[in-house]
Amino acid sequence: MALPSAKPRQASYEDILRLPEHVVGEIIDGELIVSPRPAPLHARASSSLGVWIGGPFDHGRGGPGGWIILDEPELHLDTQILVPDLAGWRRERMPALPGTAWFALAPDWACEVLSPATAIVDRTRKQDIYRQHGVPWLWFVDPTARTIEVLSRAEHGWMVAGTFGGNGEARIPPFDAVGIDIGALWDISPPPAPAP
């Protein structure tokens, strides 16, 4: 006679708090998902993208403003706890930052920088959660392929709104009011010296 298998224990926020600082913890469908801190290529793409978007859209320098853009915010979406690489909220939806260490309001844009350790979860389980919680825009940045895939939330799933890559400037929704130098996201060469 087979004994019924024990139901796995649901992860809790205390499990995340007990993790060492060099990892990122998320709770997806009750399971604790632990990922290493980003590798240099991943960190470079995420940081550069935050600079390109943050200036014109968060601070209004050379762009329309109207957004709050954050690196690695902790999202508490019902029982799901996600940490996208970048996320943004329109200021009319979130005029002030919450008083908590996390965000209960789903963002208007989420960005996942893909790595071998996280790509399968980012492109499946997390993608589904973002859609279920009404996130209108989701980007997948692939530093190895040097591409940005843009998904727009549709009634019954996601619609691919575009894939951008290579070098040069691109206008990528929802931040298409200002061009982003895609090649600069992965380029580590120093900028040219100013002319004397």
Q: 69: closest CA among 100, 107, 39, 103? A: 107
Q: Is 98 helix (H, G, I), strand (E, B) or coil?
A: coil
Q: Give the confidence band of 151 by pLDDT, cuts at 50, 70, 90.
A: very high
What pLDDT was estimated at residue 39? 85
What is the Cα–Cα distance from 87 to 76, expressed in whole angstroms? 13
Domains and CATH numbers, the chain: 38-185 (3.90.1570.10)
Q: Is 132 helix (H, G, I), strand (E, B) or coil?
A: helix
Over residues 109-124, mean pLDDT: 94
Cα radius of gyration rounded to whole Å, the chain: 18
Mean pLDDT of the chain: 91
CA distances from 167 to 57, 101, 147, 181, 193 (A): 22, 37, 10, 7, 20
Buried b (16+ CB within 10 A) or exposed e, 86-123: bbbbbeeebeeeeeeeebeebbbbbbbbbbeebeebbb
Q: 138: closest CA among 84, 93, 82? A: 84
* Whole-structure pTM value: 0.90
% residues pLDDT > 70 (the chain): 91
